Amino acid sequence: MTKINKLYHRLRAVMVVAVFFYCAPLCHAQIAELTFQDEQSQQCTTIVNALERDHFTGKRLDKHMSALVFDRYIKSLDPGRHLLTQADLSDFQPLKMLMYKYLKTGNLGPAFEIFNLYRSRSEQRLEYILELAKSWQTRIDFTKNDTLVIDYEHKPFIRDTSGLKPLWKKELKNHIINLKIDKTSDDEISETLEKIYTNRLSHLSQTQSRDVFQIFMNAVTMSFDPHSQYFAPRLSEDFDIHMKLSLEGIGAVLQNEYEYTKVVRLIPKGPADKSQKLAPGDKIIGVGQGRDGEIKDTIGQRIDDVVKLIRGPKDTFVRLKIIPARKSSVTDTISIKRDKVKLEEQSAQKKVVELTSNDRTYKLGIIDIPNFYIDFDAYHRGDPDYKSTTRDVTKLLGQLKKESIDGLIIDLRDNGGGSLKEANDLTGLFLKYGPTVQVKTKFRVSRLYDEDPKILYTGPLMVLINRMSASASEIFAGAIQDYHRGLIVGTRSFGKGTVQELKPLGDGRLKMTSAKFYRVSGESTQHKGVEPDIWFPRIYRTKDTGESALDGALLWDHIDATRYSEYMSLQPMIKPLDDAYKKRVEKSFGIKYLNQRIQLAESLSEQKSLSLNLSERLKTDTAFNKKELALENNYRKQKGEKPLASLEDIDPEKEEIKEILTDQAKYIAADFITLSHKIGYSWQ
């Protein structure tokens, strides 16, 4: 037996005693412990070797990484800090700095030891809540002025197990209050609680060794960066389906956050996007089938299981119970019709609008690009009519030229990226020639170039971006900004500046970050994203969305700039354009409405704790709804529309916020056209 294994077995003996001692007030007949398999041990060393050899960062598993792996593993198991205690963490402390040695030898014993304690404690919690729920009407005091901490990042672990049951009781109380706010009757509450916690207990009992391995290995991979992930054989198959979720489903990209399934972004023109009912940052806590099917609780479930519930045939409905990003605890139930994302809706679309400003009428061309697409099969076959973003935009620009537009707006809002080739080719339509992006691997820096000296459009250009503009969108916007080819307007983009490769690994697969994008100026698009020249109100909370919201995201940095020929700097125009925009929005009731909506949402989102006094919570919820309804009706009044009787009457199909900001963009474009002609800008 090696020295490290001897130490582990001594620690294990200590932990078993400690677990018995600390569980004493809670103990019952425990479920069987899970153990790792030999093939998992071998796969572990294979994953570790691949990460150390090929990951972009060049990180090595050492004591520092060992602590990161340990902390991430604990967080993935107990994100709400309501199962493990400070006493447990103290017992596991010797393992924290030695985890890297266990990983390199394939010893998964410590990981399974920690998981078995977590699983046992989870079972105790669920059984305690189920027992308490049988007589909640008499055993829970809803007039008591206690609170529940919901700021998980700063919430301390409970000192020892003596403090767990009071916490679990508070969590049940909060659950019941939410049901009461949803106007659920007492009998329905009892039935719902029984069903939910029984299902969670059943789900827990079905945990297998491969589930533990999957969770722990992802704690390892995501300690390198949040986009690196291991897919076990079963999940590898689900991954292929999950990547196609936008094709037949609701069109949403999801990730786990704490015990919830969080919406990261919506596929443009997909069912969820078009419904206007779901938004990035929303947390899914239940899924039901059909228009009135029973909502199944999804809190604490693996994301692949949640995806299976959401996925379904075209023209069927799925019901989602969500905690909206704009609220902290109040839930909504929405219904979305599943559908395929139609190719023609994903394609670039154009329109021409006329605007009177500065005592003249402007004709503006707007091209909306939902993503950067290409039919690779047709392209590789040599099909001269293959479909792509650049080819479609080329046709649209030809049509807009015939309409004699004064200026062009490229709308990349909510464009999550796509083909790197298309980002490069599209940029080339607006530049004479030169590099468009730099790609750095562990070993070298390469560049993509626009080698065609032909410029398809030489007039004033504006690019609209927002927090959901990512990856290829950021490459295009960054290049346009660095070359001074156009004005960037909106908010900071997503910040996804890394490249991932999917590698076969035994029966599973490893998605690993292998490179990083850099602008021609040398600045990374990673983490920070692209900053606009003129800022719009931030409708997405940066705390909840974007690369910087991901735990352990790689940071912004820079490399040497490459050689490129800039156009005349736009800097002399930016301040007068921004001043004119700010002066205009002072009189805009649309922007005022938008800012008030943002402030109202922020007031709830920043809450660190919740009152567990029922009357206080009902009062808070009612007050929020009144404020929101008053805000909506005040805006409608200013537009000359009839007031709403309730928030339920809001038309989900109206893209109110997008329209408000698009209107402002048109006026900025008009000012930009006037000023560029006055100064004599040329982009030939």
Continuous segment of H or E residues that includes residue 539: none
- CA neighbor of 346 nearest in space, from 378, 376, 373, 385: 373
Q: Residue 212 in contact with residue 204, Cβ under 8 Å? A: no
- Across-strand partners of 253? 265
Alpha helix (H) residue ranges in 134-232: 136-139, 164-181, 186-205, 209-224
Q: How many CB atoms lie within 10 A of CB 209?
A: 15
Q: Residue 480 in contact with residue 463, Cβ under 8 Å? A: yes
Q: How far apart are CA 310 and CA 305, in angstroms?
A: 9
Active-site option among 269, 496, 511, 666: 496
Tell me, yes or no, if 155 is annotated catalytic: no
Length of the chain: 684
- CA neighbor of 390 nearest in space, from 354, 347, 336, 353: 347
Residue 187 DSSP one-character state: H
Alpha helix (H) residue ranges in 244-282: 271-275
Q: Residue 335 in contact with residue 380, Cβ under 8 Å? A: no
Q: Residue 604 in contact with residue 624, Cβ under 8 Å? A: yes
Tell me, yes or no, if 482 is annotated catalytic: yes
CA atoms within 13 A on the CB side of 102: 27
Active-site option among 482, 544, 621, 671: 482
Active-site option among 471, 473, 493, 524: 471
Residue type at 90 in one-letter notation? S
Tell me, yes or no, if 471 is annotated catalytic: yes
3-state class of 245 per DSSP?
coil
- Classify strands 260-266 and 283-289 as parallel, antiparallel or unpaired: antiparallel
Phi/psi at 94 (nearest 5 deg)? -60, -30
Q: How far apart are CA 101 and CA 11, in angstroms?
A: 15
- CA neighbor of 330 nearest in space, from 183, 197, 431, 194: 183
Positions marked catalytic:
471, 482, 496
